[in-house]
Amino acid sequence: MKKLLIILSLTAILFPLQYSAYSQNNMGKPPLDGVYNKLNTPNREPIPYTSLREADVMWSKRIWRVIDMRQKINLPLYYPIREQTGRKSLMQLIYNGIMKEQSITAYTTDNEEFLTPITPAELTKTLDQQDTMTMTRLDPPYDQYDSVISNPFDASSVYLMRVKEDWFFDKQRSVMDVRIIGLCPYMEEYDEFGEPKGFKPLFWVYFPQCRKIFANNEVYNKWNDAERRTYEDIFFKRLFGSYIYKESNVYDRRIYQYAKGMDGLLEAERIKQELFEKEHDLWEY
């Protein structure tokens, strides 16, 4: 009985001391949202590309495709709508990399060759929208005046992403490979009456420059929260859905310029199948 009383007394003395020490060490820090600190993803490095020489590339084809983030397979790229601790959407990630961290350079959409960079200040003017609203003064003479209302850029308004990539056959390794060159978010535009009037490309980013940020940010995995992939994994392992809208051609035209409706979809599938068969045609079974 005496031993039990001694143990209880020591516990009563030591527990407040431990709690006080914990409070002092963690003063000003937010509590841990989980059961352990995640150290793997924030310290990851992009998967290194295999060395490639011009002499090893015996065939190549440039392809442009569109990722629609409203598709079920692409929903992890679109959500969360608002930033959460440890998780951002693809557009939020790119936007923060350009505007806040300034580790990503944005380029104009005048061409697709990354020739003209855009400063964060210039990009803000392009992305932030301004509307003019007619207001009436509350004091005499109660006349009307135009008021400019600024609408900050909302990353959730972007759900389409263009991808420029190169497919090639590496004879040194005897494999068909693909490397993404650039990404271009674009969004739907509306007229003064709220009716859609088309799509507007925002800017291009050089994909290899984005890989470090992509490797350090998680993507939601519905099967296991402890085994979440990163954006680098999604792109490197081709875990996204897309459709082709252009291939390199002598006219430099897109599919919709020479094939409409169902014919355009069939043309995109033809190009996709041609890429699939190209590697098989190089082997004899």
Per residue in 213-272, pLDDT (tens digit) is 999 999 998 888 888 899 999 999 999 999 999 999 999 999 999 999 999 999 999 999
Residue 22 has what pLDDT?
Answer: 47
Residue 145 has what pLDDT?
Answer: 60
Domain limits of the chain? Answer: 57-281
Residue 21 has what pLDDT?
Answer: 47
Q: Which of 6-15, 90-99, 197-206 has the lowest mean pLDDT?
A: 6-15
Q: How confident is the model at residue 284 (pLDDT cuts 50, 70, 90)?
A: low
Residue 5 has what pLDDT?
Answer: 56
Residue 14 has what pLDDT?
Answer: 47
Task: State the burial class of residue 127 (Cβ atoms within 10 Å of its Cβ: 0-12, 13-18, 19+).
Answer: buried
Flag whether pLDDT at 152 surpasses 90: no
Pick the residue with more confidence: 23 or 69? 69
**Percentage of residues in the chain having pLDDT higher than 90:** 54
The one-letter amino acid code at 60 reads S
Q: Which residues contact 268 (CB under 8 A, 6 or more apart)?
A: 243, 244, 245, 255
Q: How confident is the model at residue 19 (pLDDT cuts 50, 70, 90)?
A: very low
C-alpha closest to that of 56 among 139, 177, 208, 213: 177
**Each residue's pLDDT tens digit, 37-64:** 887 888 889 989 999 999 999 999 999 9
Distance, in Å, from the CA atom of 77 to the CA atom of 67, rounded to the nearest integer, reads: 10
